[in-house]
Structure 1
């Protein structure tokens, strides 16, 4: 089966890379249709086995512009008309609106992988905007043959569309047990990665860390706003590694005492967030720091998988950071327990069969034409939060 994955990203998104790799392993002809918003920056955006169709259009701080949206829309439509895939795997509802009208002509089946629903992202807006977004999102869900939610909490918000929704957790590939038992040395340190933004806890972390002697922050990813670029990353206690691969990210995480996964509770999307960093931390046996407003904090607390405090409580955060050196004495015990929990179903390997349920296993057939069946079995088994 020929599958086109459509997302306004250059291919460096970790979940996209895992999705494409799994579909390739299942024997499908995979094409990634994307948008490189920072062509001037070197990034880990290779997708082995996947054909990339990426348009370069620069925008500030990985944001968006009308000209960029127009360029990506034209690129996506043109590429799909040329490819004529069997199925399109589009990320979020905006990409369904972008290319969904081609269904039945350029492709047959349509899946929406909901990373962040626009309903949740716009929850802080005025009611006319919320009502308009709600209507558009419901229309895209009706339009799709299949939906994917990243956890059970998001799944429950899908209402009537749950009947055609599969839960595929935002989990890392299993790095193996060795990293978990390569313990940090030297100064206490926390790893923060991915989108570095003021509304993702970097300001609170920096302020709290400055209250702890000899503390270091290791950062990787990209600065999404002026504060992160000009204040956070330029602070002397922050070591910035730039863009690194998922495997390198796990190796760095294992060398630190904890990982940060905080979201300012300014909209429902942040409150419902279930970031992959929580499960990255589990996979390498390190605690994760979350804010207590996020629903996933209930899961973290229930499994003693890290620390939570109110988003703005820098005193509580500083107290936890100050305890990290002492916690190294019991880190072996914690890492053992975290790895055991991780192996109970929080790895990407545990999710691959769910993608196979959606798209089938092309290795089981020699026919790669448009007659390949498109399974629609949904899976709503227990997920992380």
Structure 2
């Protein structure tokens, strides 16, 4: 009863994506999650944007999977009901150096596989016509019209719900505390059970390096990059219509002022490296004030006193390669690491799952279920 074909460790957006896509196949699958709910770590402290794909460095795995993942989201949207909206991204520049970077991002986007219909460089006049509340100091912007805003926690829950409907087992409050292997079978010990599995997929977020070492594979280390956000009341809705970014290299990657799916306005995140893994959700006073400065820089009329919520999240980063780490352990191809899920992890999630399935296929035969049901309805959503 406790023997499985595949064990997925971690039920964030990445683990849940893998579980859902693997549920197509005739395999006995279990997902172990240390928290009492899915998606409570990095998936919760997230901007919720499926990026267009112009930012990742060409040639890196995350650049390839960002563009593939964005396309695969169309399958998810057609099959499952979860909150999303198609939205423009606008990367705003304030000086000549910014404009040079905007031109570089435009060319990078085309190199990564975006079409010329998805990207456009706007003049100052075009920017202010599109977003009248942006600072008049703007010199221009890059427009990407193929971004998608999602609720990452709701999406994670939807993916896991569909996986469970198709036979995947989910065990919450099951923290992995030991992994050993005998006779080609892993024994996985948690705080409340012992199970056996032929294959392990390690999607444990910030703790993926710890889980890998626990299994005897000391191949990578993850550092943290904490980002803090402020959410403004619905009275501020309409101050921007697009996801408005500052130029990444000058002001820090991913800094935005953006409308949220529920009618609020999101400002942030800040960027802070090397915080302890158990402090990635903390809010700090100086970063709270810095977020206000960020908001005012982009949108001078924004009322940061309307803050109704603060939250924080972090990205697990494999700093040596500065890329996703999706590969089997060097000495055991049945232990598959899915780590370093920095941005664009959310954007790449469907493609990450596809890649993991390719790796699993090298270890075991996967037969499609005849009764797999990809449809997941949500009675609260009316398409």
TM-score by length of 2: 0.32
Q: Report which of the two has the higher share of helix.
A: 1
Q: With CA pairs under 8 Å and 6+ residues apart, which has the higher RCO, 1 or 2?
A: 2
TM-score by length of 1: 0.32
Q: Report which of the two has the higher share of strand.
A: 2
